Structure 1
Amino acid sequence: MLNNTTSNISSDICFNYDRENYRAVTILTSSVAAVSALACILVTLGIVLSKKYLVFTQRLILYLSIAATLNGTAGVLRLHTVFYESDRDWQSKLCMATGFFDQVSGWWQLLAVSCITLSVLVKVVWGGSPETVEPLFPTIIFLFPILINWIPFIHYTYGRAGAWCWIRDINSDCSETKFGQYLRFALWYIPLYTILILLVLSFFVILCKIHSEKRRWQGRYDPDAVEEKERMKKEIWPLLWYPAFYIFLNVFPLVNRLHGVFNPTHPILVLWILQAIFGPLQGGFVSVAYALDSDTIRRLNCTQVLCYCYRKTPQVREYHHEIYAGPSDSLLQGKSRMESEEM
């Protein structure tokens, strides 16, 4: 499948890769991205229809679900590169636009996972309340990436980059563009892997803290310890799946990108296929992580879905009251009821 011929000037020469390979990889990644985007849309609808967004932890998942949906949509838009016919298409307006969207949506997803991890870290390790800074989260997740990722439009650096459109590191005449290489590191590689390292460290710190708390809970019966254990089970553990999946799914794209840094014109097809599969799967694993919540699994049935849509039965109102309160709110409501009974 590799093409070593140089009979004419085309993108195939620059990357030592024939067009059929490009098409196969692009169709594969677009198909996986479409499934992931659809799965995230279902998660978003589930949170909105059941009004789970009234709970802070569910709003964090909602931010990630929206970001993953947009990132999956960017993956689907890669499909237009299948119809490229000449090297002039590398810097078409459509290619630059999809490259920008791919870059920005990747940042949206990365920052959404980071906000989830930071919230868990603050709550578990430092005992703080991340809800107080929640108004900053949408700005950090969705606005900040737009403010920095317009830079590659300088010198038209967005364009064809391998199997799809991104920040170019090679010109159409096969010469290297240093500006594009610098931008890849400054706007993606360095921030991404710095944050990934911090996510891994935070993940282990959180697990160590939880383990130490479990040891403290052992022994004689303590109502406060039982309450803390239940809160951890309902609020913390479900959120830890999201950074865990994100870290795992970035392993294969990392290997391919590192190879691309040192060998940009000699790609390995297997690495591109692995990135095409695992890269867009972020959104799909958001839905998997969401379904791993025991309460979500219990509520995912046809009767409940119909109730969410029509909102006509008392069962739905009871469910609203049950899930929105959250562990801490439920305790406050219970305390209020006891005080009223004493009066």
Structure 2
Amino acid sequence: MYQLISTLFFSFVCASELSFISFNDSSNHTLAWNISCDIVGFFLTIAVNSKFFVTFWLTFHLFAFAVFSKDLRRLEPLYILTSFGIPLLFAWIPFVNNLYGIAGAWCWIKNWDCNKKLPLGFTEQYLFLYIPGLLLLFLDLLMIIITVSVLMYQSYCSSSKAQEECDPLLQRQVEKQKKAFKEILPLILYPIIFIILFLPSAIHRIYGVIEPGDTRFFLFVLHASTGSSWGLFVGIAIAIHICVLKCCRIPLQLNTQNEPSGANNNQTNNDPVYTTETIASTNARTYYAPRESEVSLLFADTGPQ
């Protein structure tokens, strides 16, 4: 849910940026336009960093669950606090030196003022976005590779072992792992989509640093279109995720419907899962219930001679 909220918030801010696109100097605009541009740049700093943190925590949560079998849902308040709280701590800093405004063609932290280079603007751009963003993206990519590799390896090893030993309990464990793999794998799509859609923005910004006076229109259009369409792609990923979950539940429901519904008293005993090994492992105790004929014979033997 937080992934969706952060994505929609970022897409809304990027869509708002489109109305402020301008290649002219900010001195040619009205005061209200400049103030609005500063506010949009402020929210853009919050939105993009919140997206970075939410994606990182989602990837970390899946990584801990898949690799170390740790359920970290109790850390959800920490996820929320850091994802939306940390960006608020530094997003206001560019207001101190009036660095929010037209940065290139849209509103963000300014690094040029007319023909004057602003070193502080470059520094804040890297401190507030590029360095932490690229670091979090690298960690996301690393954890995604490890998570998918571990899940595939566990599924392969468990299925091979179950086929060799033909153990019903092990086969059930394999089915559980396959189901968990099918449920976790769609969640990996969210950080992957984020990484793919952020690449045009990163390439455009890096190119702008290398060639400050040269602006490639193709990179600009690609940057603007991918930034505002994050919500669309995440919505598609959520729809795919829901379809996958429903497809995973359908075979389970079909299996339960095909099972015989007759009330057989010996059904539990005929189940091959309940073997002598499983009964011994549960420390179960058996009690002998004598038959009615044996009870009558017992009383006949102990009666008066």
- For the aligned pair, the TM-score class normalised by the smaller chain equals 0.7 to 0.9
1:211 is aligned to 2:181? no
Aligned to 1:261: 209
Q: Is this contact kept in 2: 1:90–1:160, CA < 8 A?
A: no
Q: 1:184 aligns with which of 108, 125, 128?
A: 125
Aligned to 2:10: 71
How far is the alpha carbon of 1:200 from its aligned partner? 0.9
Q: Is this contact kept in 2: 1:250–1:279, CA < 8 A?
A: yes
1:244 is aligned to 2:185? no
What is the CA deviation profile of residues 27-79 of structure 1, one whole-angstrom value per residue up to 9, with x for unaligned ones? xxxxxxxxxxxxxxxxxxxxxxxxxxxxxxxxxxx101111111111112214
- What are the residue-to-residue correspondences of 1:165-180 with 2, within 5 Å? 165-171=107-113, 173-180=114-121
- What are the residue-to-residue correspondences of 1:128-143 with 2, within 5 Å? 128-143=70-85
Q: Is this contact kept in 2: 1:159–1:165, CA < 8 A?
A: yes
What is the CA deviation profile of residues 167-216 of structure 1, one whole-angstrom value per residue up to 9, with x for unaligned ones? 10001x31000000000111101111111111111111111101210122
Task: Decide whether aligned partners of structure 1 residues 115 and 90 sit closer, same or farther in structure 2, where only a CA change above 3 A counts.
Answer: farther
Q: CA–CA distance in 1 between the matches of 2:3 and 2:174?
A: 31
How far is the alpha carbon of 1:224 from its aligned partner? 2.1
Task: Decide whether aligned partners of structure 1 residues 293 and 208 sit closer, same or farther in structure 2, where only a CA change above 3 A counts.
Answer: same
Q: CA–CA distance in 2 between the matches of 1:83 and 1:208?
A: 46
TM score, norm. by length of structure 2: 0.72
Q: CA–CA distance in 1 between the matches of 2:30 and 2:108?
A: 10
How far is the alpha carbon of 1:106 from its aligned partner? 0.8
Q: Is this contact kept in 2: 1:199–1:243, CA < 8 A?
A: yes
Q: 1:231 aligns with which of 168, 180, 197?
A: 180
Select the structure with the greater relative contact order (CA < 8 A; seq sep ≥ 6). Answer: 1
User: 3-state SS of the aligned residue for 1:66?
Assistant: helix
Q: Is this contact kept in 1: 2:155–2:177, CA < 8 A?
A: no
What is the CA deviation profile of residues 121-178 of structure 1, one whole-angstrom value per residue up to 9, with x for unaligned ones? 010011111112112111111111111211111210111011110010001x310000
Aligned to 1:4: none
Aligned to 1:106: 48
User: 3-state SS of the aligned residue for 1:166?
Assistant: strand
User: 3-state SS of the aligned residue for 1:140?
Assistant: helix
Q: What letter corresponds to residue 233 of structure 2 in structure 1?
A: F
Q: CA–CA distance in 2 between the matches of 1:67 and 1:184?
A: 20
Q: CA–CA distance in 2 between the matches of 1:127 and 1:90?
A: 57
Q: What letter corresponds to residue 175 of structure 2 in structure 1?
A: V
Q: CA–CA distance in 1 between the matches of 2:107 and 2:30?
A: 8
Q: What letter corresponds to residue 272 of structure 1 in structure 2?
A: F
Q: CA–CA distance in 1 between the matches of 2:30 and 2:181?
A: 50
How far is the alpha carbon of 1:231 from its aligned partner? 2.2
Q: CA–CA distance in 2 between the matches of 1:177 and 1:85?
A: 17
Q: Is this contact kept in 1: 2:193–2:233, CA < 8 A?
A: yes
How far is the alpha carbon of 1:120 from its aligned partner? 0.3
User: 3-state SS of the aligned residue for 2:231?
Assistant: helix
Aligned to 1:202: 143
Q: CA–CA distance in 1 between the matches of 2:75 and 2:215?
A: 44
1:127 is aligned to 2:76? no
Q: Is this contact kept in 1: 2:101–2:107, CA < 8 A?
A: yes
How far is the alpha carbon of 1:297 from its aligned partner? 8.2
User: 3-state SS of the aligned residue for 1:81?
Assistant: coil
How far is the alpha carbon of 1:86 from its aligned partner? 5.5
Q: What letter corresponds to residue 106 of structure 2 in structure 1?
A: W
Number of matched residues?
236
User: Who wins on radius of gyration, i.e. which is larger?
Assistant: 2
Q: Is this contact kept in 2: 1:78–1:164, CA < 8 A?
A: yes
Which consecutive residues of structure 2, in runs of 5 or more, have no partner in the other structure? Answer: 163-167, 248-305
Q: Is this contact kept in 2: 1:90–1:159, CA < 8 A?
A: no
Q: CA–CA distance in 2 between the matches of 1:81 and 1:164?
A: 6
Q: Which one is further off, 224-233 or 244-253?
A: 224-233
RMSD of aligned C-alpha atoms?
Answer: 2.1
What is the CA deviation profile of residues 229-275 of structure 1, one whole-angstrom value per residue up to 9, with x for unaligned ones? 212322x1121110111111122111111111122221111110111
